[in-house]
A and B are shown apart, each in its own frame.
Chain A
């Protein structure tokens, strides 16, 4: 995007940047060693359910697109209160979570759903119960950057923990530098 586009208020629909996703494996090691946070075994992909140029609009279409195994109960699609769809994947192995999110992304992009993708979310929980202080790492697909989100109640988030996570992770993974983009995702279906 150049200055001329800015002047004329043009925007182009951005395609997701997926490659930075793989950096998460390194980041996870740091989270484990520095903050005692480990993967919750859950990840989610959030996208706008909508109409448009694509013919793929129903859950069934998406399921078919992503080649769900009938018996695969690790994957589910839910619609949240704000009308966004979530592909939720459960897998104890983080590497495999990342790979599955990446391949789901890739097939959606190939089928023209790229512009609808909003973010991917990976859950992290403290190694030792009672499970206080869990963190979600949100991956902004259009920016190709991560940021932490640590909700503590309905509309409260633990900014101190989030900034601590950033300070440890910024060497390993591309963190979103603009803090005003660290938007909340209240009541998300990924733990």
Chain B
């Protein structure tokens, strides 16, 4: 990472550090609670670490599988490979593997535990919607994720949240078993203690989750920034974002006549389409991202 030419942002780094610190603090609280309760300490740790490590080691395979993506050769996708080649030369980084997901939803992602194991992937939908310049900007954003080792950082961060979730579940089992055992007055105290642990762990889980999401948003902004600086055209990334998020990203490329089977065009819809806005988002709002890119554009070209 030190070698690659992606710009760093000190303000963002500081905020990420604080977020990370808070996560570590939470981690300490969980461990304390665990030791106090004294149940299945080793068990919890082993399982949690096994899960976190498998998520870390197989991140590329998990992400590729869940997005129905497959790796492509330069012969299959010459344009995509050409853009990645050019960007890697520019950033002085190793070329990751390149993949394509055959779905209409416009998206791109980078995954893999280290730059050596990285895969950079674009959906057919994004390749159809963006011009070459915009696609290059999006791929520069994804390459910054690789250079920033975001998969590793986010795995560790979300691992803490997962640990908290496990603790709350185990505490709950403990509370149920303790209640059924009928251990007299002392047993009742233990039940009470475990109930409290359960509630505390749940609260911790929610907080950890919110912090992870915040961390993720900071890292998205950081990737926007270094991606835009790498290609030297923040406005192009801004235009790509406008084309794939918000209203334009929702307009499909799928043919109405082909969609009639799965969609409710020939039938009355069973449920009206809801407007459930996602409360917790892993990405910053479009306005925030465009703001940052506008500012960068002025700094670079003003």
- Contact A163 B268, beta carbon cutoff 8 Å: no
Does B256 reach chain A (CB closer than 8 Å)? yes
Is A6 in contact with B251, judged by CB distance below 8 angstroms? no
Interface positions of A from 170 to 191, Cβ below 8 Å from B: 178-186
- Residues of B within 8 Å of A119, CB to CB, are 256, 265
Residues 225 to 267 of chain B near chain A (Cβ within 8 Å): 243, 247-248, 250-260, 263-267
B271 partner residues in chain A, CB cutoff 8 A: 1, 3, 6
Please report whether the interface of chain A is mostly helix, strand, loop or mixed according to DSSP.
Answer: mixed
Give B242's nearest chain A residue, CB to CB: A160
Of all chain A residues, the one with the shortest Cβ separation from B271 is A6
Does residue B273 face the partner (Cβ distance < 8 Å to A)? yes
Knowing A179-B250, A182-B252, say if A142 contacts B265 (CB, 8 Å). Answer: yes
Q: Specify which of A1, A159, A186 is in contact with B243 (CB 8 Å cutoff).
A: A159
Q: Is A157 an interface residue (CB 8 A)?
A: yes
Beyond A118-B257, A118-B260, whether A184 also contacts B252 by CB under 8 A is yes
Cβ B248 vs Cβ A184 within 8 A: no
Interface-located stretch among A11-19, A36-44, A99-107: A11-19
Smallest CB–CB gap between B264 and chain A, Å? 7
Contact residues in B for A181 (Cβ distance below 8 Å): 263, 265
Is the CB–CB distance between B250 and A180 below 8 Å? Answer: yes
Find out whether the CB atom of A14 lies under 8 angstroms from the CB atom of B255.
Answer: no
- Give A13 to B252 CA distance when docked, in angstroms: 24
A94 within 8 A of B: no
What residue of chain B has the Cβ atom nearest to residue A84's Cβ? Answer: B257
- Rounded to whole angstroms, the CA-CA distance of A14 and B269 in the bound complex is 9
- Give which listed residue, B250, B255, B269, contacts A184 with CB less than 8 A: B255
CB-CB under 8 A from A113, the residues of chain B are none
Residues in B neighbouring A118, C-beta threshold 8 A: 256-257, 260, 265-266
B100, chain A: closest CB distance, angstroms: 15
CB-CB < 8 A to A84: which residues of B?
257
Contact B255 A82 (CB under 8 A): yes
B266 and A82 form a contact (CB under 8 A): no
List the A residue with the shortest CB-CB distance to B129: A159
Binary CB contact string for chain B from 117 to 150 against chain A (1 if under 8 A, 0 otherwise): 0000000000011000000000000000000000
- Give the chain A neighbours of B247 by CB distance below 8 A: 159, 163, 179
Interface centre among B128, B129, B251 (most CB of A within 10 A): B251
**Could you give, for residues 134-158 of chain A, a 1 whenever the CB lies within 8 Å of some chain B CB and a 0 otherwise?**
0000101011000000000001110
* A69 located at the interface, meaning its Cβ lies under 8 Å from any Cβ of chain B in the complex: no
Instruction: Find chain A residues with CB under 8 A from B265 CB.
Output: 118-119, 140, 142-143, 181, 183
Q: Does B270 sit at the interface, judged by CB under 8 A?
A: yes
Report the nearest B residue to A143, measured CB to CB: B265
Interface string of B171-196 (1 = CB under 8 A from A): 00000000000000000000000000
Q: Of B129, B259, B267, B273, which contacts A183 at CB under 8 A?
A: B259
Q: For the complex, give the distance between the alpha carbons of A119 and B269 in Å.
A: 16
Neighbouring B residues of A185 by C-beta, 8 Å: 255-257
Chain B residues contacting A6 (CB-CB under 8 Å) are 270-271
CB distance from B267 to the nearest CB of A (A): 4
Please give me the residue from chain B that is nearest to A178 by CB atom: B273
Given contact pairs A156-B128, A160-B248, A183 touches B270 in the complex (Cβ within 8 A): no
Asked if A5 lies at the interface with its beta carbon under 8 angstroms from chain B, I say yes
CB–CB B267/A5 < 8 A: no
**Interface check A9, CB cutoff 8 A:** yes
Residues of B within 8 A of A140 (CB): 265
Q: When A46-B257, A118-B260 are in contact, do A163 and B248 touch as well, CB less than 8 Å?
A: yes
Contact assessment for A184 and B256 in the assembled complex, using a CB-CB cutoff below 8 Å: yes
List the B side residues contacting A14 at CB < 8 Å: 266-268
Q: Which residue of A lies closest to B272 (CB)?
A: A1
**Alpha-carbon gap, A135 to B271, bound state (A):** 30
Interfacial chain A residues near B260, Cβ < 8 Å: 48, 118
**Is A59 positioned at the interface, with any CB of B under 8 Å from its CB?**
no
Closest Cβ neighbor of A138 among chain B residues:
B256
Residue of A nearest to B243 (CB): A159
Candidate in B243, B255, B256, B264 with the most chain A CB atoms within 10 angstroms: B256
> B130 CB to closest chain A CB, in angstroms?
11
In the complex, whether A91 has a CB less than 8 A from a CB of chain B is no
A sample of 12 inter-chain contacts (CB < 8 A) reads A1-B269, A6-B270, A6-B271, A11-B268, A13-B268, A48-B260, A155-B253, A159-B251, A183-B252, A183-B259, A184-B253, A185-B257
